[in-house]
C-alpha cells in the first residue's frame, strides 16, 4: 500500500476541501450550460495549484508528477471537466514553459499564468493530425524578427477563452522539423474559429483555432528551431501520467456514489447491497481503483526520479482510462433507471470518463507505444 508523506496528506486534505466547496456544487450546472468555472481557477491560484510544477520564484509550488496526479484525482472526484481545463493550463502550458522556455519567457508568462490572471492551453491536434502527432500541417516561416504562422488546430482545451497557447508547427521539410511557439490570443492573425460542443467534459471549453498569417515574435520560439520532438514527448508523458489521475478520480466518485446508493436502495425487501451481482461489481470497481492508483503513483515517482521511459504514461492511461469508463457504466447499471437520469451524477461520470480514452493520445496509440518499446521498434 502506498504511504503518503505528511506534506502529501496536507495537500490531499486541502484540495479535497476545495473541490467539495468550489467544484462539486457547480459541476451539474456547468455540465448543462457548457460553462467555465472561472471563480474556481482564481481560488486554485490562491492555493498554489496553477503552477504546481513551476519554480517558486515565479510563484509556483515546485512539486512533482506524483503530487500533480494526487491533485488531479481529488479535483476530478468533484468535477472532471474543470480538472481537464486545469490540466491543460498547469501541465500543457505552464509546465511546458517551465521545463523548456527561456528565462525571459518564464519571467514574462509564468507569473500571469500562475496568478490566474491568464488562462493557458496547448495547441497540437489538427483536423488531419490527431494520433499522428508528427503529421502537422501548420507551418511557421521566419520573416525578419517574426515567424508567420499559418494553420488550424482543433479540440483545443481552453481554446475559447485562453490568453496564451503553446503551439506546435512545422518549420522545415522533414517530418521531425517541429518547433514550439508561445502564441498570445492578441497576436495579429490569431482567431478562435469555432467553439465546439461535446458529449462529456462539457465544463471544459473547447475550440478550433485558426492562425492566418499570425505574427509571432522570434523571442516566442521555445528552445531551438526544428528541435521540439524530445520535449514534446516528455511533456506528453507527464500529461498521460497526470491525466490518469482524472480517471482515478472519476472511478473513486463512481465507487463512493454507488456504494451509498446500493446500501440505501431496497428491492425485493432488502438493500441492493445484499445481492451478489451488485457486490461483484462494487468489488471489481474497488480493486481496479487500487490497481490503477498503484500503477500511476509508481509511474509518477519514476518520472520524478528522471526516468524518461515513454511507456510510463502510456501504461497509466491504457489501464485507467477504460477503467473510468467501465466504472461509469457499472454505476449507471447499479442505479438502474436512476442512473440514466440527469438528476444523478453517474451518467456525467461516464460521459466525462470516455474522453480520457481519446485525449492525450488514443488508447490504441498507447498500445503501439508500449509494444514498440518492448519489441525495440523505431518510429516509422
Q: How confident is the model at residue 367 (pLDDT cuts 50, 70, 90)?
A: very high
The pLDDT value given to residue 2 = 79
Mean pLDDT (whole number) for 228-257: 96
Residue 1 pLDDT exceeds 80:
no
Q: How confident is the model at residue 280 (pLDDT cuts 50, 70, 90)?
A: very high
The pLDDT value given to residue 208 = 98
Inter-CA distances, 146 with 6, 103, 122, 136, 216, Å: 49, 19, 20, 20, 5
Task: List active site positions.
Answer: 239
Helices (H), 193-228: none
Q: How far apart are CA 81 and CA 86, in angstroms?
A: 9
Mean pLDDT (whole number) for 55-63: 97
As a whole number, the mean pLDDT across the chain is 96
Instruction: Give bridge partners of residue 222 from the DSSP assignment.
Output: 180
Residues in contact with 308: Cβ distance below 8 Å, sequence separation at least 6, in sequence order: 234, 237
Alpha carbon of residue 28 to chain centroid = 20
Place of cell 478562435: 192
pLDDT in tens, 102-159: 999 999 999 999 999 999 999 999 998 888 878 899 999 999 999 999 999 999 999 9
The distance between the two most distant Cα atoms of the chain, rounded to a whole number of Å, is: 79
- Say how many C-beta atoms besides its own lie within 10 A of residue 365's C-beta: 18
- The conformation of residue 203, written as its DSSP 8-state character, comes to T
Q: Mind giving me the DSSP string for 261-281?
A: HHHH-EETTEEGGGSHHHHHH
Q: Is 82 left (phi over 0), alpha (psi -120 to 50) or beta?
A: alpha
The pLDDT value given to residue 85 = 98
Domains and CATH numbers, the chain: 6-119 (1.10.540.10), 121-222 (2.40.110.10), 229-375 (1.20.140.10)
Instruction: Give bridge partners of residue 215 from the DSSP assignment.
Output: 148
Kindly state the percentage of the chain with pLDDT values over 70.
Answer: 99
Q: How confident is the model at residue 380 (pLDDT cuts 50, 70, 90)?
A: low
Residues in contact with 136: Cβ distance below 8 Å, sequence separation at least 6, in sequence order: 124, 126, 129, 151, 168, 169, 170, 178
The pLDDT value given to residue 129 = 85
Mean pLDDT (whole number) for 332-356: 98
The pLDDT value given to residue 133 = 78
Amino acid at each position: 500500500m502506498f504511504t503518503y508523506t505528511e506534506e502529501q496528506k496536507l495537500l490531499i486534505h486541502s484540495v479535497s476541501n476545495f473541490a467539495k466547496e468550489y467544484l462539486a456544487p457547480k459541476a451539474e450546472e456547468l455540465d448543462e450550460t457548457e460553462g467555465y468555472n472561472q471563480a474556481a481557477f482564481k481560488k486554485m491560484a490562491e492555493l498554489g495549484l496553477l503552477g504546481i510544477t513551476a519554480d517558486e520564484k515565479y510563484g509556483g509550488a515546485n512539486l512533482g508528477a506524483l503530487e500533480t496526479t494526487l491533485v488531479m484525482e481529488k479535483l476530478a472526484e468533484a468535477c472532471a471537466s474543470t480538472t481537464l481545463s486545469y490540466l491543460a493550463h498547469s501541465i500543457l502550458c505552464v509546465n511546458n514553459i517551465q521545463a523548456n522556455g527561456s528565462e525571459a519567457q518564464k519571467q514574462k508568462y509564468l507569473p500571469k499564468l500562475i496568478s490566474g490572471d491568464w488562462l493557458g492551453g496547448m495547441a497540437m491536434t489538427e483536423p488531419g493530425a490527431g494520433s499522428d502527432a508528427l503529421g502537422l500541417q501548420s507551418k511557421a516561416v521566419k520573416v525578419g524578427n517574426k515567424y508567420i504562422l499559418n494553420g488550424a488546430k482543433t479540440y483545443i482545451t481552453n481554446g475559447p477563452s485562453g490568453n496564451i497557447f503553446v503551439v506546435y508547427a512545422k518549420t522545415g521539410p522533414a517530418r521531425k522539423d517541429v518547433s514550439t511557439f508561445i502564441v498570445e490570443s492578441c497576436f495579429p492573425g490569431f482567431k478562435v474559429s469555432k467553439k465546439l460542443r461535446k458529449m462529456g467534459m462539457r465544463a471544459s471549453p473547447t475550440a478550433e483555432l485558426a492562425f492566418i498569417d499570425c505574427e509571432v515574435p522570434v523571442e516566442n520560439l521555445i528552445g531551438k528551431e526544428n528541435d521540439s520532438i524530445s520535449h514534446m514527448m516528455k511533456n506528453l508523458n507527464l500529461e498521460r501520467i497526470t491525466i490518469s489521475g482524472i480517471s482515478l478520480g472519476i472511478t473513486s466518485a463512481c465507487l463512493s456514489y454507488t456504494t451509498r446508493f446500493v446500501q440505501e436502495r431496497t428491492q425485493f425487501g432488502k438493500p441492493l447491497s445484499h445481492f451478489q451481482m451488485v457486490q461483484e461489481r462494487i468489488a471489481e470497481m474497488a480493486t481496479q481503483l487500487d490497481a490503477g492508483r498503484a500503477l500511476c503513483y509508481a509511474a509518477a515517482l519514476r518520472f520524478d526520479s528522471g526516468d524518461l521511459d515513454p511507456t510510463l504514461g502510456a501504461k497509466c492511461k491504457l489501464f485507467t482510462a477504460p477503467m473510468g469508463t467501465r466504472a461509469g457504466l457499472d454505476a449507471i447499471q447499479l442505479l438502474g433507471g436512476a442512473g440514466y437520469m440527469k438528476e444523478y451524477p453517474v451518467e456525467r461520470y461516464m460521459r466525462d470518463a470516455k474522453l480520457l480514452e481519446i485525449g492525450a493520445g488514443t488508447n490504441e496509440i498507447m498500445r503501439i507505444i508500449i509494444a514498440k518499446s518492448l519489441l525495440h521498434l523505431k518510429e516509422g
